[in-house]
C-alpha cells in the first residue's frame, strides 16, 4: 500500500469499512477520545474506526487541515451531528509497509465529546 493517508481518505469518503483490515497493522493501537486505555490490535481498532466512519460520515464531514511528515499525519476535521459542531483531529502514524500502527482521535468542545461518547457507545453496542 503506497499511501496510508490517501487510503484513509478513500475509506472515509466511500464508507468502505471492509478495507480497514488491509490498512491496519496487526499491532495497531487506537486512542479514543472517550476511552481511557489505548485499544490494541487490528480487530478492536477496526471496530472503533468502522463505528466512527458511520457516526461521523454525514454530508457535513470534511477535513479542513492536514499536516504530513514521512510516516505520520495530523488531519483536522469538522462535522455537525445533531446540530452540534464537532471539531477534532486524527493523529495517524504508519509503518514502512503503509499500514497504520497508531491512530489517535482528539475532540472538542465538551458538548461534542459527550455527544460522540453517546453515539459511539450506541454504535459499538449494536455490533
**pLDDT tens for residues 89-114?**
999 999 999 999 999 999 999 898 88
Residue 47 neighbours by CB distance under 10 Å: 18
For residue range 48-67, list pLDDT tens digits in order.
999 889 888 889 999 999 99
Question: What's the Rg (C-alpha) of the chain?
Answer: 14
- Say how many C-beta atoms besides its own lie within 10 A of residue 45's C-beta: 25
Tally of structural domains, the chain: 1
Residue-range definition of the domain harbouring residue 82: 4-126
Bridge partners, 121 (sequence order): none
Report residue 112 as a C-alpha cell: 461534542
- Residue 100: CATH number of its domain: 3.10.450.50
User: Does the structure show a pLDDT above 60 at 1?
Assistant: no
pTM above 0.85, yes or no: yes
Among 81, 70, 76, 78, CA closest to 91: 76
Amino acid at each position: 500500500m503506497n499511501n496510508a493517508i490517501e487510503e484513509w481518505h478513500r475509506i472515509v469518503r466511500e464508507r468502505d469499512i471492509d478495507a480497514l483490515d488491509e490498512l491496519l497493522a496487526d499491532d495497531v493501537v487506537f486512542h479514543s477520545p472517550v476511552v481511557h486505555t489505548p485499544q490494541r490490535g487490528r480487530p478492536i481498532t477496526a471496530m472503533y474506526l468502522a463505528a466512527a466512519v458511520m457516526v461521523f460520515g454525514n454530508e457535513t464531514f470534511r477535513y479542513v487541515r492536514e499536516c504530513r511528515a514521512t510516516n505520520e499525519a495530523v488531519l483536522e476535521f469538522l462535522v455537525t451531528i445533531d446540530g452540534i459542531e464537532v471539531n477534532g483531529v486524527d493523529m495517524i502514524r504508519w509503518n514502512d509497509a503503509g499500514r497504520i500502527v497508531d491512530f489517535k482521535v482528539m475532540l472538542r468542545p465538551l458538548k461534542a465529546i459527550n455527544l460522540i461518547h453517546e453515539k459511539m457507545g450506541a454504535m459499538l453496542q449494536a455490533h
